[in-house]
Amino acid sequence: MNRYTWLVLGCISFTIVGCTSLVPAPSPFDNFTSPDEFTLYSLRPAMEVRDGGDPKDENFHGHTVVGKTAVSAEDQKKLADAFRKGVADHDNSVAGCFLPHHGMRMKQDDRMVDLVICFKCAQVLVYAPDGKSSSILISTSPRKTFDEVLTKAGVPLGEKSE
């Protein structure tokens, strides 16, 4: 192929990728209307684990669990609403870190999903039971709600999540 063909194909690819990034990601909450289990985790990022974490500590997708709590139906709605708003408010910027301080596990019937959330870099890793993972971009706006739910339950927050 000549240079012109590659240029046209490149422009088409860029346009397709650019357009798909404007489509909001589906919320993991859409598949869990009334979870049998809903756990919110306070995490210490993996980078800190490598710097002296205890291998006997509970971990959640490679990140040390500082604490966790079962989430009430009322708080599930607050978290879901905050999460959806955070996804809708995201400005398409992403930082290069991934030092998550929050995690969630939702189970309903035979379905389960885990979310590992880094509000600092605006990314959520979504883990399905079949081992597949995907990612969602999110703003920092839900962090306050997530921290409030953890604090109300007496769960310590991971080191500064800002």
CATH 3.30.1490 for the 25-152 domain, yes or no: yes
Element (H, E) at 107: strand 102-108
- Could you tell me how many residues make up the chain? 162
Residue 141 and residue 35: Cα distance in Å, rounded? 24
Residue 106 and residue 38: Cα distance in Å, rounded? 5
Token pair 């959806």 is found at 84
pLDDT digits (tens, 9 = 90+) for 57-93: 788 988 889 999 999 999 999 999 999 999 999 888 7
pLDDT digits (tens, 9 = 90+) for 135-147: 999 999 999 999 9
pTM for the whole structure = 0.78
